[in-house]
Each structure stands twice: as structure tokens, then as C-alpha cells.
Amino acid sequence: MIKGFSKLSKLQKLQAIAGQYFEDPEAAVKEISSFWLPDEHKQQILDGFSENTISNYILPFGVAPNFLIDGRTYCIPMVIEESSVVAAVSNAAKFWHDKGGFHTRILGTVKVGQVHFMWQGNYETLYKLMPEIKERLIKDAAHITCNMEQRGGGVLDIDLLDFTDQEAEYFQLRVKFETCDSMGANFINSVLESFADSLVAFVLEYEDIPESYKDIKIIMSILSNYTPECLVEARVSCPVAELNCAKDIDPQQFAWKFEKAVRIAHIDPYRATTHNKGIFNGVDAVILATANDFRAIEACGHTFASRDGQYRSLSYCKVENDIFHFWIHLPLAIGTIGGLTSLHPLARRSMQLLGNPTARQLMGIIASVGLAQNFAAVRSLITTGIQKGHMKMHLTNILHQLEVPASLQDVAVEHFKDKTVSYSAVRAFLETAGPSTSM
Ligand code: MEV
């Protein structure tokens, strides 16, 4: 037990941890602190995001250029540690660029919050009072909602839900919000907490509610990350004849196989999970680059994928009248103002790179990247398989890790063109092929 840990300075924290958990504490402190930023101001900003920070965990920040979305060409920032994802997305973007690119449509921007409470009274009594309750709740929260209302957002609706068939006395206020360009988590939670207080006050003060029903207990007030009505569609299409995707497969065969692959991801949850994981390879990378909340986006996406009771593909494919259609529906509750988006220096740069999009535009961009990633993955799977591309990147990573000189790297790449890459195979190759490396 380290007492008073949170009160220690950053260096003291690092030293305390290193002394306890690393064999060579001095080397550990040196290496971990080597990732501190030389610019103290920037470092302070980063440290402010979290607690007990001892360093920065760095991930690659890449870009996928040539993304034609709704008639505009974007260069998309992507933060991801997995090899091949940026290459695959860029490749798909290039492929669709000549075919009109990606087209997006916002299907809704509604966000959701809940006040969960226990009450002994019956639903009808409260339901009849809902117009008055709503008025009171809205009036009491006006000081929180006025700014958002000026921006065109605010509270859209408040519903009373009865769950007493599943849990005695359990009711819920389900509230719909429009939060414009902000993700709106703080706004929503503040409004909900105000609603909860006002609801309790209303029940206590309203004369026609009998004494025996005055006891209302708020369990919690919090936004829901499930936002099926904050939804975007991204779509690509082209004549089947233009699907010249791989050497050994003609466009008709390709379209047929592709449609079946997507269909399988609608039938089988095992495949659907991997299929959707590929989509989130692209989605999460942009979410991270723009400092949005990837846990919220993933949680929502997977719930949405299970909305009819079975986990299914988030993307769809149809071949009709010799036209190949491929599209995705993705719930994306994101923000482009406030939060970390404008605080994190690289997230700010990501936003500038994207032309400072509105939340609606960013939803379209992210859904397009998810669709592009899914297209690239399924295209590889039904043609060459994904290992070929992966192995190339895997080899590069191993060569870097072994600090192999550039000249020898080229020889290794040539050697492994038609061979399986593994750490031991690369070491064996280097032992015979090159001068001693720092292995
Ligand atoms: C790997 O990160 C993602 C894929 O498995 C996705 C898929 O199978 O569709 C290639």
C-alpha cells in the first residue's frame, strides 16, 4: 500500500512505482520519463485529462488521404496501433474516389438521458400529471438549458416509463436531447440531476398526490450511451462491372462473394463480431484522433448491432440491376466542440485537417471510414486473404524491433515475399543473411 500516492509529484510517483515494480528502477524511470513532452504547458494539458499520470502513452497518428465524402475530398486523421488499418482504408478510399466516393445522410441526432426512480404510486396517476411535471422540470432547469436552446438544442421530450412488471416500484423518465455540435454529456447529466430534484419536489408539493405516495426515491440520473436515434448512413455504389478488385476474380464473382460475406455477418454472431470489429478499426481511429469517447461509441454500436435480439452486421450489401450497393448504419453520439476535442493539441489539429466539421459532418466522415475499412477487410478476405498484407507490416515491425539496417530490410522484404513471417523465421534469416544486428 503506497500512502498519499496522489499527493506525490509526477516524478515522485514514477520513482515510487519504479522502485516497487521494476528490476532496474533507474532504467525504468529513464525510459518512462523519456516520453514526457519537453513543452511543459502541453504536458500540463495532457496531465490534466487524467489522474496519477506518470507518462504519455504514444500511439501512431496516421492519415488516410483522398477520401471523397459528399463531394468533398478529405485527408482523414487516424490514431491506431494496428498495422494495415490505415493502408486498407486509404486503399478503399482511392478505389471509391473514382466511383463517386461516399455519400452520407444523417438519420437523427437525438441523444438520451434517464432518471431512474422508485415510487409506490401507480403509473396512471403520474402519467396524468406528466404535462404539469414536464412544465415544472423544464422551468427549473431553464438556467442550464438556455445557452443550448440559443444554439438550437435543448430538451426535446420527456417520457414516463413503467417497469413495475420487472421490478416493483421502478419507473423511469426517459429524456431526449439535441446537443448540436457538442457531445453534450455534461449538459445532459446536469439537466437530468435538476429533473430528478424537481420531480421529487413536485411529488412532495402536489396536493392531489396522497401522503402514502409522497415517498419517491431517485436511484440515479445519467445519460444513456445507447443512442439509436443519433444515427448516420454512409453508402457507396457502382456498376458491378467496375468491381475490378483482384486479379483472380471477375467483377460478377466478386460482387456475389462480397454480398454473401456480408450476409453471413447478418446470420452468424461469431462472424458479425469480427466483421464489426473491422468497422470499428476505422471508426475508433478517427474517434481517437478527434478525442471523442471511443468507449461510448463502441458500447452504443454493439448494442445497436443487437437491436433485434441477435448481434448482427452493421453494414449491408445488395446487388440490384447490376449495381453494387454497400452501406452502413451507425449510431454516433459525438461532438466537435467542447470536451477534449479542442483541448488536446493533436485533436485540434485533426479537426483542422478535416476543415473543422460540424458534428453532423463528422458523423458522416466517421461512418464513411468505418464502411471503407469494412470494404477493404471483406475484399481481402474473399480474395487474397488478409494475411498477405498483415505479414508485410508484421515483417516491418519485427525488422524495426530488431534494429535491422535499412539495406538489409529490403533484402528481408524480398526474401519473405513468398514465405511465412514469424519472429523466429526473421531471426534465422538475419543470422544467415546479414552482418550482426543488435538482437
Ligand atoms: C482485423 O483487425 C479485422 C478483420 O478481422 C475484420 C474482418 O474480418 O472483417 C480483418
What is the DSSP code (8-state) at residue 153? -
Contact between 332 and 183 (Cβ < 8 Å):
no
Higher pLDDT, 439 or 215: 215
The listed CATH number (3.40.50.2300, 3.90.770.10, 1.10.1740.10, 3.20.20.70) that belongs to domain 67-105+228-384: 3.90.770.10
Summarize pLDDT for 206-215 with one digit per residue, the tens: 998 999 899 9
Cα 177 from Cα 310, distance rounded (Å): 28
**Three-state DSSP class for 207?**
coil
Q: How confident is residue 434, by pLDDT bands cut at 50, 70 and 90? A: low
Q: Are 289 and 78 in contact (CB under 8 A)?
A: yes
Whole-angstrom Cα distance, residue 135 to residue 92?
51
Q: What angle do CA 330, 331, 336 make, to 5 degrees?
A: 110
Q: Is 161 helix (H, G, I), strand (E, B) or coil?
A: strand
Looking at every residue in the chain, the average pLDDT score rounds to 95
pLDDT of 435 strictly over 60: no
Atom of ligand 1 nearest to the CA of 271: 8
| CA 376 to centroid of ligand 1, rounded, Å | 9
pLDDT: which is higher, 304 or 2: 304
Q: Is 275 in the pocket of ligand 1 (CB under 6 A)?
A: yes
For the Cβ of 278 lying below 6 angstroms from any atom of ligand 1, the answer is yes
Structural contact between residues 228 and 307, judged by C-beta atoms closer than 8 angstroms = yes
Task: Report the phi/psi class of residue 18: left, alpha or beta, with left for phi > 0 and alpha for psi in -120 to 50.
Answer: alpha
The band of 419, judged by pLDDT with boundaries at 50, 70 and 90, is confident
**Amino acid making up residue 405:** P
Cα distance between residue 64 and residue 48, in whole Å = 30
Q: Which residue in the list 10, 94, 214, 390 is annotated as catalytic?
A: 390
**Closest ligand 1 atom, residue 374 Cα:** 9
Mean pLDDT for the stretch of residues 380-396 = 83
Of 24, 31, 40, 82, the catalytic one is: 82
With the most atoms of ligand 1 within 8 angstroms of its CB, the residue from 82, 270, 274, 380 to mutate is: 274
| Residue 193 a catalytic site member | no
Top mutation candidate among 84, 271, 273, 275 for ligand 1, by most atoms within 8 Å of CB: 275
How far is 129 from 203, CA to CA, in rounded Å? 10
Count of alpha carbons within 13 angstroms of residue 396, beta-carbon side: 8
Q: Which residue do the cell numbers 495532457 mark?
A: 46
**Joined grid coordinates for residue 326:** 454497400
Answer yes or no: 293 catalytic.
yes
The answer to whether residues 55 and 37 touch, using CB atoms and an 8 Å cutoff, is: no
Helix orientation angle between 185-205 and 142-150, rounded to the nearest 10 degrees: 140
Identify the residue with better confidence: 83 or 67: 67
**Ligand 1 neighbour 277 (Cβ under 6 A):** yes
- In one letter, which amino acid is 197? D
Is 437's pLDDT higher than 70?
no
Rounded-to-integer distance, Cα 368 and Cα 182, Å: 20
Q: Does 310 contact ligand 1 (Cβ within 6 A)?
A: no
Question: Ligand 1 pocket, 160 CB below 6 A?
Answer: no
Contact of 120 with 86, CB cutoff 8 Å = no
DSSP output for 29-80:
HHHHHTTS-S-HHHHHHHHTTSSS--S-----EEEEEEEEETTEEEEEEEE-
CA of 348 to the centre of ligand 1 (A): 29
> What CA–CA distance (Å, rounded) separates 107 from 180?
14
What separation in angstroms does the CA of 36 have from each of 43, 229, 288? 7, 41, 20
Lowest mean pLDDT among 56-70, 239-253, 374-388, 390-404: 390-404
Between the CA of 416 and the centroid of ligand 1 the distance, in Å, is 23
Query: Residues 5-53: pLDDT tens digits?
Result: 999 999 999 999 999 999 999 999 999 999 999 999 999 999 999 999 9
- Interatomic CA distance for residues 35 and 55, integer angstroms: 6
Q: Is 328 a pocket residue for ligand 1 (Cβ < 6 Å)?
A: no
pLDDT digits over 99-158, tens only?
A: 999 999 999 999 999 999 999 999 999 999 999 999 999 999 999 999 999 999 999 999
Give ∠ CA 222-228-229 in degrees, rounded to 5.
95
- The average pLDDT across 314-336 equals 98
Lowest mean pLDDT among 277-286, 324-333, 348-357, 380-389: 380-389
Q: How far is the CA of 47 from the centre of ligand 1 (A)?
A: 34
Pairing mode of beta strands 103-106, 231-239: antiparallel
Find the 323 Cα to ligand 1 centroid distance in Å: 25
94, 277, 325, 392: the catalytic one is: 277
Q: How many residues does the chain have?
A: 439
Q: What is the mean pLDDT of residues 176-190?
A: 96
Average of pLDDT values for 156-176? 98
**Residue 70 is among the residues annotated as catalytic for this protein:** no
CATH code for the domain defined by 111-224: 3.30.70.420
* Cα separation values, 177 from 113, 244, 307, Å: 8, 45, 21
Going from the Cα of 277 to the center of ligand 1, the distance in angstroms, rounded, reads 6
Per-residue model confidence (pLDDT) at position 341: 87
Residue whose Cα lies nearest atom 10 of ligand 1: it is 377
Judge if the beta carbon of residue 176 lies within 6 A of ligand 1: no
Q: Is 277 an active-site residue?
A: yes
Q: What pTM did the predictor assign? A: 0.91
pLDDT at 439 over 50: no
Of 123 and 395, the structure prediction assigns the larger pLDDT to 123
Q: 153 with 175: CB under 8 angstroms?
A: no
